[in-house]
Each structure stands twice: as structure tokens, then as C-alpha cells.
Structure 1
Amino acid sequence: MIKIELERVDGDYGFEAKDANGHTVRLDTSVEGGGTNFGVRPMQMLLMGLGGCSGIDIVSILKKQRQTIEGFSMKIEGEREAGKEPSIWKNVTIVFELTGNIDPDKAKRACELSMDKYCSVAETLRRAGGELKWEVRVNQLTIDNKQ
């Protein structure tokens, strides 16, 4: 069982979350919502988790295939349901950008495996009704655009 602890630490809405290993993350709401911009919004944290989860999968897959990753970044955009409470993620798009000595077909397949099979965060968002799309770029060339 995973255990997370949160403690209110800044203003009305600022919290520090800590995992069992002592790693911390600061969370808050917007200034407009009464917060102080102390940390990440909880819904943004879900998208960060998606990037981290899929990124770890993709690196693991490509390393097993002896691909040399020199750089790896992601850009994630999401759209939430309008006018609803709770307002869950409706659409999420990720652009995976890899550089190095990487076979484009292997990069495409690694991203597919992560997003369709291995990434638990992706599956969690999907089960909540979210639509996930992604694009794969290797050395600045678009390889795959899963729309």
C-alpha cells in the first residue's frame, strides 16, 4: 500500500505532500481561487504524473533496445470538462520529443506501449473518460501522430 502525507503549510490552501521516501511536492490553488501560488495545482499534478509515468516507461523500453537517448522532453496540454464539478480531464495531448541515436520505429513503438499498455496514469485517465492523444518526434522529425 502506498502512503502519502499532506500538511497545510502556506496560507489557507498551501500543502506539502510527502511520500514514504521523504520526497516532497508543494500544492496550492491559484491566487484567484484564494491561494498564494505556493505550488502546483492538483489537476496539473495528474498531467505531471502522466509525463513521468510514460517517460520512465519509454526510457526503459528504449534502453532495453540499446537505443542511445541524448535528450527527452515532453509537452503536455489538457482540456477539462467545462461547467462541471468535479471537472475532470476530457482531452490530453502529449508531444514526446527524443534526440539521439534512436530508431524512429522503436521510438514510436515505445510510446505506443507506454500509452496503451504500461502507463498506469494513462489508464487511470482513460477509465475516467479522458481521451489521450500523442505525437512522437525523433531528432525534430514527427514520426507518429496518434490522434
Structure 2
Amino acid sequence: MPLRKPEDFVAGGSKVFRKAPVNLESMRGWVLISRDKAKDALNQDNSTSTRLGAAYDSVLNLSLAVLSSRGWRCTAADGHHVQALEAACSYIGVTQSVFDQMDAVRVCATVNTMACLPAKATWRLRWHACSAWFLP
């Protein structure tokens, strides 16, 4: 099943997305927040959980910028993180596999518990998927 776009979610009854005019200032703000979060994620002096959370926050903010560029904004309705991430992935054309890895990072980052942190090898795979969004 292909990744869904906001219009697919709306057609299915989701309350997460609303049409909105493209707002360059908001997009710029999300990209700047994303950049700063990426710096935190790359800072090896930060704890693993801080880096994981910052990496996810970076990707989420980029997702909001992508959605805004297509004339959508997100509400705070249930499921807004996962739907925003999936819709942004759909727009930029990443694979289901990359989305699945980012969704696993989302779960760990939003659960906010050390018990969720993956084994080192799995962490490296997820870190690679996450960092691919914001590293040159």
C-alpha cells in the first residue's frame, strides 16, 4: 500500500489536516527549528535519548515544512505526528521502509522512556534513516 497524502487521510475521515495558504515564514521557521534540532542530534555529548528525540523533532519539523509547501497544516488531533510524517514521506517520495524506520523512531521519541531505546545495531539503522533527512 503506498504512503498516504493529506487528501487520502481527509477522505478517510481524519481531522489532522486542514487546507491552508502556503506560508513562507512558517516554513522558514520549521526549517530553522529542524536545523537546530539536527545539531543537537549530531552532538555526541548529548545522551542517546536526547539525540534520538532531537533527530525525531528535526524530521517532524521538516515534515511540517513539506506539508505547508503543499498547502496543508496539521491540527493537534489524535494521530497528528504519524499522519504528518507519513504524508510528508509520501510527498518527498521516500520508501515504505524509510517511513517504517522513522515511525519506529517516532514511537521511541514520543514514548520518552529509556526502555524503548533499541539495540546498538538497530539504533544505527534508525539513526541513518533519520539523519538522511538533514545531512548533506
Common fold by TM > 0.5? no
Relative contact order, CA 8 A, sep 6+: which one is greater?
A: 2
Q: TM-score, normalization: structure 1?
A: 0.28
Q: TM-score, normalization: structure 2?
A: 0.30
